[in-house]
Amino acid sequence: MKLLEEQRRLNWLRNYSDSIVKRLDSDDLTEGAAWELLTEAKLKILERFPNSDDEYHLIYERRFRRV
């Protein structure tokens, strides 16, 4: 049961981060709107994965900034 729940959480994270990258890449966002989107994404990710600030900065923040 725990493994299934962890898999669901990881699937959500992958899908959510992919959707953020797509929005950053395809939407005509102002710089302010892009930063707002990134702030919202960080909050949502860390809400689902508490105490994962370091992992967020190492993986997702870098991924989002490359776009």
Q: How many domains are there within the chain?
A: 1
CA 34 to chain centre: 13
pLDDT digits (tens, 9 = 90+) for 2-47: 999 999 999 999 999 999 999 999 878 999 999 999 999 999 999 9
The 10 Å CB-count burial string (b at 16+, else e) for 12-49 is ebeeebeebbeebeeeeeeeeeeeebbeebbeebeeee
Domain that holds residue 6: 2-66
Note the pTM of the prediction, 2 decimals: 0.84
Q: 């939407």: which residue's tokens?
A: 27
